[in-house]
Structure 1
Amino acid sequence: MKTAVRIWVTLFFTFLPSHVLANTLVSHCRDYPPEIYFNGKKCIGILPELVEDILAELGHDNEWVYAPWIRSTKEAKRGNVDLLIRHSMTEERISFLKPIKYAVEKRILFFYKSKSFTSDITSYDDLKNVSVGAIRGIFYSPSFSKINTDSLTLVGRTEQLVGMLEMERIDVVVSSTSHNGELFESKFEKATFEDTFLNYLYISIPRKSKAIVLYDDIARVLLKYRKTGKINQYYQKYGVSIPYQDFSEIEHIQR
């Protein structure tokens, strides 16, 4: 009798849908306070708390791994990470990520000038004949994405851009509040031109990840948090303005 029960239990769990069983997901964390950052060995912030509560509601655990965005995209393409949080969506990213929208923000790009660059920047046309610094792999705006890459100097960290602008090795850098713009604010003159647009923000599951079977469940709970206003409490806790919610649920690919 006991043997029969064990066999029945084994068969029961074997044929349960994978999304019913508890999983430990691997999520990537990077330093982008107050929305997401590491404090010691713990990933904290608005979005880590939001994600952990959603996963806990669904009966799943989560493990945070520190990874710069470039590494995250590489691992996502291989299916070696389960969740990427706080990012925009582009045509290239949609090929390997399945996104869940959680907010919309107004993003403003600023352009800071080296001391030797005396001209002003009043439009994207003015950037055609100058050297522009930017962070590699980062989405800035649909218009900035159309810049001729021959005029761009790409680096891995914002601090490198600060140093290059101080040494006058480049003429202009692009930045925003989403890209450590405060590091340039007190040191360099800001150009007249600003690029303003609506930036849709996502939490995504890589299409090759084992967690893709959880997509519908995670999307359903996140949508519930947004529609009930529960998502607002995470922003309020960190003293951050509550973002706008767009419930069209159409995937907005920034072109």
Structure 2
Amino acid sequence: MPISARLIWILLLFCLSPFALGERLRLVSDDWAPYVYEQNGQPRGIDYEVTTEVLRRLGYEVQWQFMPFKRCLAMIEQGQADGIMDVFQVESRHPYLLYVPEPMSTAELILFQTKARRHEVSSLDELAGLTVGTSPGYNYSAAFNEAEFFKREAAPTHEANFGKLALGRIDLAITDRRVGLHVIRLMGLEQQIEALPLVVSRQPQYLGLARKPGREALAQAFAEELRRFKQEPAYAAIMDHYTHDPETVANAVEQQESSTAR
């Protein structure tokens, strides 16, 4: 690390320490497995573990709470929570939400279909006349959100969307690749549902902090420590645990609660 960068890092920690000492942050999220979710009353997931470790190193304790995503955003806007997990950058949120400059992960939003009712979709134009299952308030991409030549039909949970897809009530469903494959495994639909190659959008997912005094320093310090942690074997072990471990895949999320935005 260059000397100038090291000095900035030390200064950030110095400025941050009075805030961090004995402070507990309240972080909110919806269930977004395998990134962050609740299982048997306990938080789990790739970004949960990474965030908890980074904040531990910065001297913070964390209280986690899971709820529908629109409510998460409302709590941040009303000052009732300190941070929200895995949000996309949306201009309308900037007045009340400060994004940590280093992303936690990247969501790859794709379409899913049933093998019995396949559709040739290599571009959004080929969605004309189809019905796509969505989650209320999710920001998929401007082109997808604003298109008028296909129908978007929202469902309260990812399971509900894939259940409707399996029953033929919608033509396609859209969500993050990892999330979709995760839910399909949990529902036992691997033989019925498949992913399409078209990527609707790739969007970095961030830890968003409520705009409060001292949060700019925390955002910068968190980003620096997160970059450092991503280079360590412990980070690779977390990724491997949630993406390759059979027991984790089989037991990760028994159900996902209502999810309404990203």
Q: TM > 0.5 between the two?
A: yes
- Does structure 2 retain, via aligned residues, the 8 Å contact 1:54–1:222? no
The answer for unaligned runs of 5 or more in structure 1 is 1-16, 243-255
The Cα of 1:114 is off from its aligned counterpart by 8.0
Inter-CA distance 228–122: structure 2 relative to 1 (3 Å threshold): closer
In the alignment, the residues of structure 1 paired with residue 203 and residue 31 of structure 2 have an alpha-carbon distance, to the nearest angstrom, of 20
In the alignment, the residues of structure 2 paired with residue 238 and residue 195 of structure 1 have an alpha-carbon distance, to the nearest angstrom, of 22
In the alignment, the residues of structure 1 paired with residue 32 and residue 64 of structure 2 have an alpha-carbon distance, to the nearest angstrom, of 14
Q: How does 1:31-50 map to 2 (within 5 A)?
A: 31-50=31-50
Q: How does 1:184-223 map to 2 (within 5 A)?
A: 185-188=190-193, 190-191=195-196, 194-195=198-199, 197-207=201-211, 210=212, 212-223=213-224
In the alignment, the residues of structure 1 paired with residue 226 and residue 119 of structure 2 have an alpha-carbon distance, to the nearest angstrom, of 48
- Does structure 1 retain, via aligned residues, the 8 Å contact 2:121–2:198? no
Inter-CA distance 232–102: structure 2 relative to 1 (3 Å threshold): farther
Q: Which amino acid aligns with 1:136?
A: P
**What count of residue pairs does the alignment treat as equivalent?**
221
Inter-CA distance 18–130: structure 2 relative to 1 (3 Å threshold): same
Matched residue, 1:125? 125
In the alignment, the residues of structure 1 paired with residue 115 and residue 230 of structure 2 have an alpha-carbon distance, to the nearest angstrom, of 44
The Cα of 1:230 is off from its aligned counterpart by 4.6
> Can you list the C-alpha shifts for 1:40-76, whole angstroms capped at 9, x where unaligned?
3322333333333333333332211122323212222
The Cα of 1:127 is off from its aligned counterpart by 1.4
Matched residue, 1:173? 173
Q: Which amino acid aligns with 2:180?
A: N
The Cα of 1:150 is off from its aligned counterpart by 7.3
> Can you list the C-alpha shifts for 1:215-250, whole angstroms capped at 9, x where unaligned?
3134224313304645662342341699xxxxxxxx
Inter-CA distance 114–147: structure 2 relative to 1 (3 Å threshold): farther
The Cα of 1:99 is off from its aligned counterpart by 0.4
TM-score by length of 2: 0.69
Q: Which amino acid aligns with 1:41?
A: G
Inter-CA distance 219–178: structure 2 relative to 1 (3 Å threshold): farther
- Does structure 1 retain, via aligned residues, the 8 Å contact 2:47–2:104? no
Inter-CA distance 52–174: structure 2 relative to 1 (3 Å threshold): closer
In the alignment, the residues of structure 1 paired with residue 94 and residue 27 of structure 2 have an alpha-carbon distance, to the nearest angstrom, of 18
In the alignment, the residues of structure 2 paired with residue 230 and residue 189 of structure 1 have an alpha-carbon distance, to the nearest angstrom, of 33
In the alignment, the residues of structure 2 paired with residue 92 and residue 235 of structure 1 have an alpha-carbon distance, to the nearest angstrom, of 34
In the alignment, the residues of structure 2 paired with residue 232 and residue 199 of structure 1 have an alpha-carbon distance, to the nearest angstrom, of 25
Secondary structure of 1:92's counterpart equals helix
Q: Which is higher, the Rg of structure 1 or of structure 2? A: 1
Q: Which amino acid aligns with 1:61?
A: E
TM-score by length of 1: 0.71
- Identity value in percent: 19
Greater share of helix: 2
